Amino acid sequence: MALQLYAHPFSSYSQKVLIALYENGTPFEWRELSPEHPEAIGEWLSMWPVKRFPLLVDDGRMVAEASTIIEYLGLHHPGPVRLLPEDPREALEVRAMDRFFDNYIATPQQKVVFDAIRPQGTQDAYGVKEARAMLDAAYGWLDRTMAGREWATGERFTLADCGAAPFLFYADWTHPIDPAFANVIAYRKRLLARPSFARAVDEARPYRPLFPLGAPDRD
């Protein structure tokens, strides 16, 4: 049975896994989680009632959480591009950067977006202010860290870059990266030029009107 991916093309965490799949040309069956595919939604909810995606199913085995899915693919469906180094010390650095992008780019970015779709009168202005401040701090740290680096941990494209690509993509839409952070801007451009991410971005273009803050006319 082919791998099945329950996901949505416009979702940053779904794109994180898609990048890993596309990097290695791993075949899989799309199970799109959208109103147009209620049967996929029903299957997904029956397996994973916490209602989070992406979700990978491999011959009946369920694998949740984007980072875990990518590591699982590397172990059980390896391809020519190794996204987690074999050396445990190098792997630890990749995982640390992966956590940085999840916790300090994606989390505050989603806080701002989700606040925009909350019912009128329930918005959390203080929380949004904190989230934007976190993004500024994260951009600054990343700018210093990326000095002299091509990818998140050096010369190799890894798991960390799989997350960085969609998270920085949407973060800049949500809270623009200050032009002073030239290393971050250049890194984001390199990620957009990576064929695996470029494919994911193109596949998600029809859904841009769904972006609550209004998708900019770029990227």
Which pLDDT tens digit goes with each residue over 48-99?
999 999 999 999 999 999 999 999 999 999 999 999 999 999 999 999 999 9
Handedness of CA 122, 106, 209, 189 (dihedral sign): positive
How much of the chain exceeds pLDDT 70, in percent?
100
The answer to whether residue 2 scores a pLDDT higher than 90 is no
CA atoms within 13 Å, Cβ hemisphere of 2: 10
pLDDT of 1 reads 58
- CATH code of the domain made up of 88-201: 1.20.1050.10
Residue 16 and residue 166 in contact, taking contact as beta carbons nearer than 8 Å: yes
Over residues 119-137, the mean pLDDT reads 96
Q: What angle do CA 52, 4, 207 make, to 5 degrees?
A: 60
Over residues 114-132, the mean pLDDT reads 95
- CATH 3.40.30.10 region(s) of the chain? 3-76
pLDDT of 60 reads 94
* Token pair in block for residue 47: 């397996």
- CATH 1.20.1050.10 region(s) of the chain? 88-201
Which pLDDT tens digit goes with each residue over 104-115?
999 999 999 999
- CATH code of the domain made up of 3-76: 3.40.30.10
Would the pTM of this model clear 0.75, i.e. be above it? yes
